[in-house]
Structure 1
Amino acid sequence: MSMTISHDHHAHRFETRVDGVPCVLDYTLDDAVMTITHTGVPSEVGGRGIASTLVQAAMDEARAQGWKVVPACSYAVAWMQRHPEYADLRA
């Protein structure tokens, strides 16, 4: 499934809409450390890889900006365990 992820720098949020339903990843940024605090995909659109796509977008942005990442939400922790190619970003 193809989806467009937008990054709201001021709100510290990555977001997309699937079937009109908003899906988000929230983070904080302190110096050059992104802490992923919440990944939210409502159940009516769950099971489509949306959360994974949001986390990957956040990780790719962190890499591009030279940030380190703290996966504070359980989904981001599990995602990083499944994607060792992003282990170098862990703070």
Structure 2
Amino acid sequence: MDIKNEETGSHGRYSATLDGHTGEMTYSRASPTLIIIDHTGVPDELRGKGIGQALAQNAVDAARKGGWKIIPLCPFMRAQAQRHPDWQDVIQG
């Protein structure tokens, strides 16, 4: 699955398109070492296909690579962070 990252100023978006439908995870950069994930949206056509999980894993991988932490304000990302104790190195709060 190809996940794209777009960042404009302090706002960013990870997106993945499958079968013509796009799921997204949006974030705000609070500082050079902290992002706040505030929304995850997956259209009904993509539910159950692992898009949300792939976006969350991508955010964690990017945080590890970039050396920043994630505040999971989005309920989906917060739930994923609780399910994955191995992500705690990049989760704040």
TM-score class, shorter-chain normalisation, is: over 0.9
Which of structure 1's runs of 4+ aligned residues deviate more than 2 A? none
Structure 2 residue 9 is the aligned partner of structure 1 residue 8: no
TM-score, normalization: structure 1? 0.92
- The DSSP-based 3-state class of the residue aligned with 1:9 is strand
> Is the strand fraction higher in 1 or 2?
2
How far apart, CA to CA, are the structure 2 residues paired with 1:90 and 1:56? 12
How far apart, CA to CA, are the structure 2 residues paired with 1:16 and 1:87? 24
Which consecutive unaligned segments of at least 5 residues does structure 1 have? none
How far apart, CA to CA, are the structure 2 residues paired with 1:17 and 1:23? 6
Amino acid at match of 1:80: A
How far apart, CA to CA, are the structure 2 residues paired with 1:67 and 1:13? 16
**Other-structure match for 2:20:** 20
Shift of 1:78: 0.7
> Is the helix fraction higher in 1 or 2?
1
Amino acid at match of 1:46: R
- Determine what percentage of the aligned residue pairs are the same residue: 37
Shift of 1:9: 2.5
How far apart, CA to CA, are the structure 2 residues paired with 1:86 and 1:9? 23
**Other-structure match for 2:86:** 85
Aligned CA RMSD, in angstroms, stands at 1.0
